[in-house]
């Protein structure tokens, strides 16, 4: 796959109904109006990029909608969302510091053949661009985790990439690793968007991830890392996700965080989290207490 990366999105136009489109710098080409299928069917095609080109060749007059006239939705239909963890050295060391109780577990899983993979969200619970992301009311140390997310079809083939925010309660995870599902999966704990970039692993490996957290108009935290620092290949992560599992609609897998704010930092209601990933775009969400 060469040339510009095609970016597929879900969006709501004036009538509020979910549609599928191609996301450009200034707007969206409405594939649904051109008779295109749902995102899941496009991703299931052997050649999603070719399928989109065929749809647009057939209907060259497909509506072009300015970005300001649409609301981007999370690029997920019926796909479960899972997450890999401790795939960056930075994540391993931060978690070992956070909990002497569980330090060996993080140390071991970083180097083990089997990666850490956990369930993150049902599709209908995912926040899209502009939607709130949550911090738990019973947590005292909450952080965003900006992550590259892999988009698989039902056969386990990697079809594209999006941005994921694996919102986490570090105090709850640090108290006892058995509390991980509570630290990771709660209302508004997962955001995805703004689109699915149909790129290759080689292209994605050259991308950087940046995060900025705004508080009362100023930057409260900013950080960056490179996708190339992920210690495992995407094929490896995908093959573990699909072991003894079936995902009839495909699945989304977050690949772990490599950016950890200083220990004194915790998110607050009203903060705004902006994650940028080269080749995909920007995912921006306000923080609420849930
Ligand atoms: O084991 C805890 C979760 C790890 C994680 O979410 C990450 O490294 O991103
Ligand atoms: Mg994570």
Residue 106 Cα to ligand 1 middle (Å): 9
- Specify whether the CB–CB gap between 79 and 155 falls below 8 A: no
Question: DSSP H helical segments within 185-274, as ranges?
Answer: 201-205, 234-241
Q: Is 111 exposed, middle or buried (0-12, 13-18, 19+ CB in 10 A)?
A: exposed
Tokens of 201: 């692993």
- Distance from the CA of 95 to the center of ligand 1, in angstroms? 8
Which atom belonging to ligand 1 lies closest to the Cα atom of 256?
9
Over the Cα atoms of the chain, what is R_g? 19
The per-residue pLDDT for 2 is 57
What pLDDT, on the 0 to 100 scale, is given for residue 93?
A: 86
Q: What are the pocket residues of ligand 1 if the criterion is a CB atom closer than 6 Å to any ligand atom? A: 83, 85-86, 91, 95, 116, 145, 166, 173, 256-257
Atom of ligand 1 nearest to the CA of 173: 2
- Nearest Cα neighbor of 255 from 138, 162, 128, 125 is 162
Phi, psi (rounded to 5 degrees) for 121? -160, 145
Exposure of 188 by Cβ count < 10 A (0-12 exposed, 13-18 middle, 19+ buried)? buried
Say how many C-beta atoms besides its own lie within 10 A of residue 72's C-beta: 22
Mutate to test the pocket of ligand 1, among 83, 94, 105, 120 (most ligand atoms within 8 A of CB): 83
Pick the residue whose CA is nearest to atom 3 on ligand 1.
Answer: 85
How many angstroms separate the alpha carbon of residue 141 from the centre of ligand 2?
A: 15
Please tell me the pTM assigned to this model: 0.97
Enter the tokens of residue 182: 């509570």
Which of 88, 95, 232 for mutating ligand 1's site (highest number of atoms within 8 Å of CB)? 95
For residue 257, which atom of ligand 1 is closest to its CA?
9
- Residues 6+ positions from 166 with CB-CB distance below 8 Å: 83, 120, 144, 145, 147, 184, 189, 190, 254, 257
Determine the longest span between alpha carbons in the chain, in angstroms.
61
- Quote the DSSP letter at residue 5: P
Structural contact between residues 140 and 112, judged by C-beta atoms closer than 8 angstroms: no
pLDDT values of the chain reduced to their tens digit, one per residue, 290 residues? 556 899 999 999 888 899 999 999 989 999 999 999 999 999 999 999 999 999 999 999 999 999 999 999 999 999 999 999 999 998 888 888 877 778 899 999 999 999 999 999 999 999 999 999 999 999 999 999 999 999 999 999 999 999 999 999 999 999 999 999 999 999 999 999 999 999 999 999 999 999 999 999 999 999 999 999 999 999 999 999 999 999 999 999 999 999 999 999 999 999 999 999 999 999 999 999 99
For the beta carbon of residue 152, count every other beta carbon within 10 angstroms: 23
Residue 105 alpha carbon, nearest atom of ligand 1: 1
Asked if 118 and 184 count as a contact pair (C-beta separation under 8 A), the reply is yes
Buried b (16+ CB within 10 A) or exposed e, 250-272: bbbbbbbbbbbbeeeebbeeebe
Q: What is the pLDDT of residue 179?
A: 97
Q: Residue 59: beta bridge partners?
A: none
Burial of 236 (0-12, 13-18, 19+ CB in 10 A): middle
Q: Are strands 208-215 and 218-226 parallel, antiparallel or unpaired?
A: antiparallel
């Amino acid at each position: 796959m060469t040339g510009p990366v095609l970016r597929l999105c879900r969006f709501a136009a004036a009538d509020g109904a979910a549609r599928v489109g191609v996301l450009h710098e200034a707007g969206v080409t409405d594939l649904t109006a051109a008779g295109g299928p749902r995102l899941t069917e496009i991703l299931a095609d052997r050649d999603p990029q070719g399928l989109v080109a065929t749809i647009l060749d057939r209907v060259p007059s497909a509506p072009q909608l300015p970005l300001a006239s649409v609301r981007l939705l999370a690029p997920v239909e019926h796909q479960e969302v899972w997450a890999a963890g401790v795939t960056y050295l930075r994540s391993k060391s931060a978690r070992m510091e956070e909990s002497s109780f569980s330090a060996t577990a993080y140390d071991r899983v970083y180097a083990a053949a089997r990666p850490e993979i956990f369930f993150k969200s049902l599709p209908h619970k995912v926040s899209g661009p502009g939607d709130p992301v949550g911090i738990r009311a019973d947590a005292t140390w909450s952080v965003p985790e900006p992550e590259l997310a892999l988009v698989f079809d039902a056969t386990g083939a990697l079809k594209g990439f999006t941005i994921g925010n694996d919102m986490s309660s570090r105090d709850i995870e640090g108290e006892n690793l058995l509390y991980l599902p509570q630290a990771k999966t709660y209302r508004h704990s997962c955001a995805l968007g703004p689109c699915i970039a149909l790129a290759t692993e080689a292209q994605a490996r050259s991308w950087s991830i940046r995060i900025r957290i705004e508080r009362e108009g100023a930057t409260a935290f900013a950080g960056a890392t490179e996708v190339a620092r992920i210690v495992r290949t995407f094929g490896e992560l995908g093959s573990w996700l699909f072991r003894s599992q079936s995902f009839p609609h495909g699945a989304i897998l977050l690949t772990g965080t490599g950016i950890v704010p200083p220990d004194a930092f915790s998110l607050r209601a009203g903060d705004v989290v902006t994650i940028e990933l080269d080749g995909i775009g920007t995912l921006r969400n306000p923080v609420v207490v849930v």
